[in-house]
Structure 1
Amino acid sequence: MPYATAADGAALHYEVHGAGGPPLLLLSGQSNDLGWWDPVRADFAAAFTTLVWDYRGTGRSDRPDTDSYSTPGFARDALAVLDHAGVQRAHVYGTSMGGRVAQWLAADHPSRVDRLVLGCTSPGAPHGVERGPEVRRALVQPDARAAREALLALMYTPGYTARHPGPFATLGDPSMPGHARRRHLRASAGHDAWEALTRIAAPTLVVHGTDDRFNPTANAPLLAGRIPGAVLRLIPGARHAYFEEFAHQATPLVTGFLRDGEAGMPPEGPPAGAGRT
């Protein structure tokens, strides 16, 4: 069970999977451990050597109650993971907050990033499009069950959750202490990479679901327009967890871009909302 050591001494748990293909670093969403990628990781491991890791505050990594949580800080933690794994250069695929972390990794450490995929993410509040007040209210309501149902509805279509009772890997690490959860929230909310985006030199694919209200779809063209040469692809009918529910479209799209530099339109698949069986 490998652990990297961050600059401040925090232990960072990570895993490596795959049969020797090019390295691919997968970055999870806010308040989630490496389990975020469980539904699709094997598909990527068939073509790449995948690295997944637990952010500080999650999973088996250390959980310091310090001012060490930020999206640039998570990017530095990601470098520690790459260094410990002996990976000098990797493809990077980040979704949600992981996409925010990936922006800093590509902008500040260009020699370490080969190709970049930013999924269901944004440049940050000052220049991005924030979720609506009704979404924020639904997520913080005092009834925990109702709040969970609201989050599920933002992540997946009703047809998918009706056919898939769970468990769902995208609803947060339940073992996180309160201080870590609060610090993750502040880290993601404080993200602002607008000026840094123009420094990204890696070939970049921006992917988003057309029905994403958790991180509004309008952020995707903002990112693609700010990053030199970036390609934008939208997945019709998909919500925030497009990479899981619409994996039949998203995974081939991302794999083709990372492997060959091709970013064609998402392949045909089941009707919007049907998801995978």
Structure 2
Amino acid sequence: MNDTTFITTGDGVRLAYRLEGEANKPVLVLSNSIATTLHMWDGQIAALTEHFRVLRYDGRGHGQSDAPAGAYSVDRLGRDVIELLDALGFERVHFLGLSLGGYVGQWLGIHAPERIDRLILSNTSPHLGPASEFDARIAALQTSPDMDAAAETFLANWFPAAMIKAKDPATEPFRAMVRSTTPQGLAGNYAAVRDSDLRRTIALISRPTLVIAGKDDTVTLASHGEYIAAAVPGAQLVMMEAVHLPNVEHPDGYADAVLNFLLG
């Protein structure tokens, strides 16, 4: 099944997902960065489906999923994953989340460890602040005529300047992803990040965990990855020479890090 399909959550939100790979393989869930769609993983699918049945989805507020009004919470985003797994009959999965997806992964590791086999937390943080910064971003979305300015800001935060200046073809789909995100959906997800502080509770994560961080990441700093790896018992840390989306900057190295951990 390579087509996008939908489930409806308990609170009436339609979530888009794709399931790729052979049905007899273990399931790996991929969860996206804020302001992207399930296509942010396009460059990894070939490598990952050799070993896994890959389930990726548009988080609420993104892509083809609904973008309800109001603040979202990481708790709700985590429950969306549980409902997706329940709908598809998947009892236990590997989970890889990047950035906002990493917040979701931390929540799952804390609150639903029985559903997770191995956990990968990539370019993420247990807490980002101050809250006033997110409030300002949410307010700006209400007056902005379109998402063009937001797209340029995100790209500058996600990729090395040289990649953007060269108009690297790998970056162009990401500009389109941000532009297609609704202000309402982005605001809801900003609120979820603003209101989350997992710094103490991630010590409760008991699943085998890999943390991937970018040495030059200005969004979720390398030190945030180091913090998570130190707080989660037995966690491994891979530090990549990358900014915020190492899966795009270094697709082969990223796939290697993921597969070495999951297959090891």
TM-score range, shorter chain: 0.7 to 0.9
> Shift of residue 124 of structure 1?
0.8
Instruction: Tell me how far apart the structure 1 counterparts of residues 235 and 156 of structure 2 sit (CA, whole Å).
Output: 30
Q: Pick one of 203, 206, 212 that aligns with 1:201.
A: 206
Judge conservation of contact 1:30–1:188 (CA < 8 Å) in 2: no
Q: Pick one of 166, 178, 183 that aligns with 1:178.
A: 183
Q: Are 1:120 and 2:123 counterparts? A: yes
Residue type of the alignment partner of 2:104: V
TM-score, normalised to structure 1's length? 0.81
Indicate how the Cα distance of structure 1 residues 103 and 249 shifts in structure 2: closer, same or farther if over 3 A, else same: same
Q: Pick one of 182, 191, 211 that aligns with 2:196.
A: 191
> Shift of residue 197 of structure 1?
0.6
Match in the other structure for 2:61: 57
Judge conservation of contact 1:27–1:95 (CA < 8 Å) in 2: yes
> Shift of residue 65 of structure 1?
1.3
Q: Pick one of 126, 151, 154 that aligns with 2:154.
A: 151
Q: Are 1:102 and 2:101 counterparts? A: no
Aligned length in residues = 249
Instruction: Tell me how far apart the structure 2 counterparts of residues 159 and 179 of structure 1 sit (CA, whole Å).
Output: 31
TM-score, normalised to structure 2's length? 0.85
Residue type of the alignment partner of 2:16: H
Instruction: Tell me how far apart the structure 2 counterparts of residues 167 and 203 of structure 1 sit (CA, whole Å).
Output: 34
Matches within 5 A, 1:27-106: 27-67=31-71, 69-106=72-109
Paired residue secondary structure (1:211): coil
Indicate how the Cα distance of structure 1 residues 170 and 243 shifts in structure 2: closer, same or farther if over 3 A, else same: farther
Residue type of the alignment partner of 2:232: I
Q: Deviations over 1:154-177 (max 9, x none)?
A: 212234342623423377443333
Q: Deviations over 1:169-225 (max 9, x none)?
A: 377443333222211111122221123211111100000110111221110111011
Paired residue secondary structure (1:64): coil
Paired residue secondary structure (1:30): coil
Match in the other structure for 1:18: 21
> Shift of residue 104 of structure 1?
0.4
Instruction: Tell me how far apart the structure 1 counterparts of residues 167 and 36 of structure 2 sit (CA, whole Å).
Output: 23
Residue type of the alignment partner of 2:194: A
Q: Pick one of 250, 254, 257 that aligns with 1:250.
A: 254
Residue type of the alignment partner of 1:98: G
Judge conservation of contact 1:37–1:169 (CA < 8 Å) in 2: no
Instruction: Tell me how far apart the structure 2 counterparts of residues 148 and 175 of structure 1 sit (CA, whole Å).
Output: 10
Paired residue secondary structure (1:198): helix
> Shift of residue 150 of structure 1?
4.2
Paired residue secondary structure (2:63): coil
Paired residue secondary structure (2:173): coil
Instruction: Tell me how far apart the structure 1 counterparts of residues 182 and 151 of structure 2 sit (CA, whole Å).
Output: 18
> Shift of residue 63 of structure 1?
2.1
Judge conservation of contact 2:150–2:178 (CA < 8 Å) in 1: no
Q: Deviations over 1:15-60 (max 9, x none)?
A: 1011242100000011322122122222212221110111112222
Q: Are 1:160 and 2:153 counterparts? A: no
Match in the other structure for 1:212: 217
Give the RMSD, CA atoms, in angstroms: 2.5
Indicate how the Cα distance of structure 1 residues 4 and 147 shifts in structure 2: closer, same or farther if over 3 A, else same: closer
Task: Name the stretch that deviates more: 9-18 or 107-116.
Answer: 9-18
Residue type of the alignment partner of 2:125: S
Q: Which runs of 5+ in 2 are unaligned?
A: none
Judge conservation of contact 2:152–2:175 (CA < 8 Å) in 1: no
Q: Which runs of 5+ in 1 are unaligned?
A: 261-277
